[in-house]
């Protein structure tokens, strides 16, 4: 697939702007300005509710989990590592 990127960019630069795009930026900014503003107190309340919900969810998920059994940790430098290359290459003897 051979695409002449320089040719496409020069064509994009020289072509006329689509008539539907004129005034689009002003319309977007008008719609943004027309949106109702949220007060600082409402933002703080919503943030506190979200933080409380996150803490509650964290406590609930930790409290409902069953304690895990102690598992053998695999250390790359441990003497009895079953995944060591020397162990894997030797195979079963």
Is the pLDDT at 88 greater than 80? The verdict is no
Per-residue pLDDT band for 20 (boundaries 50, 70, 90) equals confident
DSSP string, 9-69: HHHHHHSPPPGGGTTHHHHHHHHHHHSPPPPHHHHHHHHHHHHHHHHHHHHHHHHHSPPPP
Q: Which residue has the higher pLDDT, 44 or 21?
A: 44
Average pLDDT over residues 65-86: 64
pLDDT of residue 27: 92
More reliable by pLDDT, 15 or 47: 47
């Amino acid at each position: 697939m051979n695409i002449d990127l320089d040719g496409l960019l020069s064509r994009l630069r020289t072509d006329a702007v689509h008539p539907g795009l004129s005034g689009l930026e002003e319309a977007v900014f008008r719609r943004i300005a027309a949106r109702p503003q949220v007060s600082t107190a409402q933002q703080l309340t919503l943030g506190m509710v979200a933080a409380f919900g996150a803490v509650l969810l964290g406590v609930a998920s930790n409290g409902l989990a069953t304690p895990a059994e102690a598992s053998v940790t695999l250390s790359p430098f441990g003497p009895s590592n079953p995944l060591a290359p020397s162990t894997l290459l030797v195979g079963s003897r």
